[in-house]
Amino acid sequence: MKLERKGAAMKEPIRILHVLGGVSLGGAESRIMDLYRCIDREKIQFDFLVHQSVQGYYEEEIKMLGGRLYRVPRFRLYNIFAYRKALQNFFANHHEFRAVHGHMTSTAAIYLPIAKKYGIPMTIAHARSAGVDKGAKGALTRLLRRPLPRKCDRMFACSGLAGEAVFGKKNVAAGKVQIIPNAIDVRPFCYREETRSEMRRALSLEGKFVVGHVGRFHYAKNHEYLLEIFAEIAGRQDNAVLLLLGEGERMAEMKQRAEMLDIADKTIFAGNQKETWKYYQAMDFFVFPSRFEGLPGTVIEAQSAGLSCLISDTIAKETVITELTACKSIAESPVKWAEYVLANREYERTDRYEQTVAADFDVRTQAKWYEQFYLNA
């Protein structure tokens, strides 16, 4: 028996397939999940095609929201034929998607044309990073991305820098790339003095000057430089503590480096946390010296929490939304970064909700735009 609404049969929601490396606690995944929670799921449902065999952080929530998960092998140069075959088999048996939205741009020039061949009406490539890994892996990524502008229907990017890195400067300059900022659910991150006091007690941070960072332990995030900055801060400020959220392949290496710099007893490796917004409240200063980014949602979150931020000048200028955020070159010595932090550690912490929303970083507003886009795809 079909459910009915006001005498009319309920329509099934259209389904959008998001293609990602995985659904772990990363930047792109977090932004898509923010969108998924806010979009009208009676009209639009998200499914996910991932390149990992192990269960990801968001899998249970995706299923709870009504989404489906599918898996293909992770791409390696030696398995390109098996990779293409797996994608062909998948799309030959799945014609239900209104659009395929590819956030994993390294192989999007492979999977998006296959989706199109099997009848998917709309294919989207979405640039979310302005750089690549170093060495042969990065060179291969650049090579695989080269034909991408010709292999998709629409090009999205989280910033102009990300768009140029993935699709080329000419396509951005010609207006062929739609810039869509990485929006967040602003409300939980707004500054609350009571939450700050609660978290600082829970983490034994009362009376401490807390320098914070949120991000996976990856080459792009430049944690080794961050630790050197903090070592300089700790040498000048006895009560300084470094609070790090995130996990990743370089975490063990960074713990060793903290030992070498004699700051291990002042550094908290907090790992992945569900309620990250509470940890921002406990911080006093946010330092983010990335080598490259698309548009880091964590910096938007930190600013929403009213934090003073010092970020690398390689990050898209669209990221800066409050007067408390400054940019600095990672070519400068860690001493210069430390001096800036200490010189600016005193400031008024206030709610920055209105500024964040005015800068178009509110996911609820963005969800309305996506609803119309997907429904008209």
Contacts of 64 (CB under 8 A, 6+ apart): none
Non-local (6+) Cβ contacts of 101 within 8 A are: 16, 17, 18, 19, 124, 126
**C-alpha 16 chain-centroid distance:** 19
- Looking at the structure of the chain, the number of domains it has is 2
Q: Is residue 63 located within the same domain as residue 177?
A: yes
165 and 196, same domain (yes or no): no
Same domain, yes or no: 198 and 49? no
Q: Give pLDDT, residue 220.
A: 93
Considering the entire predicted model, what is its pTM?
0.86
Residue 305 in tokens: 């929490």
> ∠ CA 51-53-59 to the nearest 5 degrees?
85
Chain position carrying tokens 């099934």? 12
135 and 221 fall within a common domain: no
Residues 151 and 212 in one domain: no
> Which class for 189: exposed (0-12), middle (13-18), buried (19 or more C-beta within 10 A)?
buried
Q: Give me the pLDDT at residue 7, please.
A: 42
Q: Is 105 found in the same domain as 201?
A: no
306/300 Cα distance (integer angstroms): 10
Are 321 and 209 contained in the same domain?
yes
Q: Which of 113, 110, 73, 70 is nearest to 94 (CA)?
A: 70
Rounded Cα distance, 206 and 210, in Å: 10
Identify the pLDDT of residue 9.
Answer: 52
β-bridge pairing 44-50 and 14-20: parallel
Kindly state whether residues 369 and 233 are assigned to the same domain: no
Residues 221, 336 share a domain: yes
Q: Are residues 332 and 370 in the same domain?
A: no
Same domain, 243 and 339: yes
Neighbours of 186 (CB within 10 A): 24
Asked if residue 95 and residue 191 are part of one domain, the reply reads no
Backbone φ/ψ region at 343: left (φ over 0), alpha (ψ -120 to 50), beta: alpha
Q: Which domain holds residue 252?
A: 187-358
Integer angstrom CA distances of residue 182 from 120, 212, 236, 362: 25, 21, 36, 9
The CATH number linked to 236 is: 3.40.50.2000
> In a structure prediction context, what are the per-residue pLDDT tens digits for the chain, which is 377 residues long?
333 444 445 689 999 999 999 998 888 999 999 999 999 999 999 999 999 999 999 999 999 999 999 999 999 888 999 999 999 999 999 999 999 999 999 999 999 999 999 999 999 999 998 877 878 788 888 888 999 999 999 999 999 999 999 999 999 999 999 999 999 999 999 999 999 999 999 999 999 999 999 999 999 999 999 999 999 999 999 999 999 999 999 999 999 999 999 999 999 999 999 899 999 999 999 999 999 998 999 999 999 999 999 999 999 899 999 999 999 999 999 999 999 999 999 999 999 999 999 999 999 999 999 999 999 98
State the pLDDT at residue 135. Answer: 81
